[in-house]
Amino acid sequence: MDADMLVRMGFFINDLHRDIQRLHSKQFDGHQVGTTFTVYRGQGLLKEDFTEMTKTKGGLLSFNNFLSTSKNRNVPLVFAQQAATNPDLVGVLFVMSINPTDSTTPFACVSDVSYFHTEDEVLFSMHTIFRIGDIQPMDGNNRLYKVNLILTSDNDQHLRTLTDRIRQETSSNSTGWFKLGRLLIKMGQFKKAQEVYEVLLHQTTDESKKALIYHQQGLIKYNQGEYQEALAYYEKALAIYQKTLPSNDINLANSYNDIGLVYNNMGDYPKALLSHEKALVIRQQSLPSDHPDLGMSYNNIGIVYDSMGDYPKALLSHEKALAIRQQSLPSNHPSLGASYNNIGVLYKNMGDYPKALSSYEKALAIKQQSLPSNHPDLGASYNNIGSVYYNMGDYSKALSNYEKALEIQQQSLPSNHPDLGASYNNIGLVYNNMGHYSKAHSFYEHAVQNGQQSLPTNHPDLQQWRKNLENIKKKL
């Protein structure tokens, strides 16, 4: 859906949401207070999505659209049973416990206004959030499951802290469409976010707004692995900020920070370190000592030192980042997962594989609670876990995790993203060590083809992938 259509659909979505709110107020106006009831939804889930859900029992599950359910168990059960006949899907009957007293989430019985009067339909507004309960097979069928869900309470502290933090990160005193762009980036919907920002850029003549848009477009290109374009956008934003803002303004720090990230991924570590240190100095001048952005700066400096092989300085920086994030962020925040992930990288590079695996698994657990199942950060976690098993010589587990990483990346990233190249190379390494040289050759070829499209010709990763391809040819 392009941005113009998104704007037009916004009016329809808003009207439907308000209709549900109106019906909710009419139907649950006091006489049903405290009355818990059950609704059902039957559908199919991809096998990998179902597996991820089973790992997050007790965690949160969000439906990212208007949610149609029924008080009649039989109708949704038919949908679940039909889905179970598809070899790529698992049939799921969601059994949802609803207490109108505990939640202000808008939902309403719509039988009187629905085309299908007999389905006893209850319609929930978008992004309704449930807590996952028991997951059990039905009738001994390993393709058909009952999943118990409980509508989250307004007083659910776990949900409240995460929601407040994400709202804070996506707001930044912006208008609604700026907020939408930020949220789409947070969700990994980069193409849709780019369309929103292109519309906004054409609508504004204000230099400060242009700088913000350029910066967000740089962030999109960075997440898509298009580093030269990302750098160009970031430098456009920085040039405006340098002309219009004080030297210690936090927007300058954000620009230096993100330029540092680009240089790091391009393999230019001295420029990356210089940019991150500029960002840190401004943040130390402008922010409280426990502000999450300081944790971000220490984290990014740690990543650069790790890339340069200076592990003691890297570990010190990562520990500072983790300490700040533990003070200032909810326990399931993605940035905490990033800290555990980067500490895992460091331990792996130091050869301490048990500590690396422990850190990576903590990172994955947090990401599974707070990110969509196909988010590229989950792919990165599986890739890292695979690398530890590879170094421990457990090639079967390494291959399994690398394949999970590749599957997620193929769903969520452009085909020329360098993370795909890394995954192809890693799978090639496993097959090489297992003696499957023909398969290794195929994956090395994919890695080199990817790197030629996405990385500078002198990038160390591309050079290594080419070397791996040349070496495997000698074994065929």
pLDDT at 235: 97
Q: Are 316 and 305 in contact (CB under 8 A)?
A: no
pLDDT at 33: 53
Q: What average pLDDT does the segment 64-93 reach?
A: 89
pLDDT at 266 over 80: yes
Specify the higher pLDDT residue, 20 or 118: 20
Q: For the chain, give the percent of residues with pLDDT over 70.
A: 87
Q: What average pLDDT does the segment 432-459 reach?
A: 94
Residues 100, 122: Cα–Cα separation, whole Å: 13
pLDDT at 113: 60
Specify the higher pLDDT residue, 398 or 115: 398
pLDDT tens track for 319-351: 999 999 999 988 888 889 989 999 998 999 899
Q: 156-165, 211-220, 314-323, 423-432: lowest mean pLDDT where?
A: 156-165
pLDDT at 214 over 70: yes
Q: Are 32 and 388 in contact (CB under 8 A)?
A: no
pLDDT tens track for 115-162: 555 667 888 887 788 888 889 999 877 889 999 998 887 666 665 665
pLDDT at 359 over 50: yes
pTM: 0.53
Q: What average pLDDT does the segment 390-409 reach?
A: 96
End-to-end CA distance of the chain: 47
Give the Cα-Cα-Cα angle 40, 53, 160 (nearest 5 degrees). 85
pLDDT at 381 over 50: yes
pLDDT at 29: 64
Q: What average pLDDT does the segment 265-286 reach?
A: 97
Chain centroid to Cα 333, Å, comes to 11
Q: Where are the beta strands (DSSP E) in 174-282?
A: none
pLDDT at 1: 47
Q: What average pLDDT does the segment 242-269 reach?
A: 95
pLDDT at 23: 77
Q: How confident is the model at residue 255 (pLDDT cuts 50, 70, 90)?
A: very high
pLDDT tens track for 304-324: 999 999 999 999 999 999 999
Domains of the chain as residue ranges with CATH:
10-155 (3.90.176.10)
Residues 50, 143: Cα–Cα separation, whole Å: 10
**393, two tokens:** 């010589």
Q: For the chain, give the percent of residues with pLDDT over 90.
A: 55
pLDDT at 213: 92
Is the Cα torsion angle 329, 330, 334, 336 positive or negative in sign? positive
Specify the higher pLDDT residue, 59 or 468: 468
pLDDT at 253 over 80: yes
* Distant-in-sequence, close-in-space partners of 168: CB < 8 Å, separation ≥ 6: none
| Mean of per-residue pLDDT scores for the chain | 86
How far lies 236's CA from each of 51, 172, 179, 208, 250, in Å? Answer: 43, 20, 21, 11, 16
- Taking alpha carbons only, the member of 128, 118, 115, 96 closest to residue 24 is 128
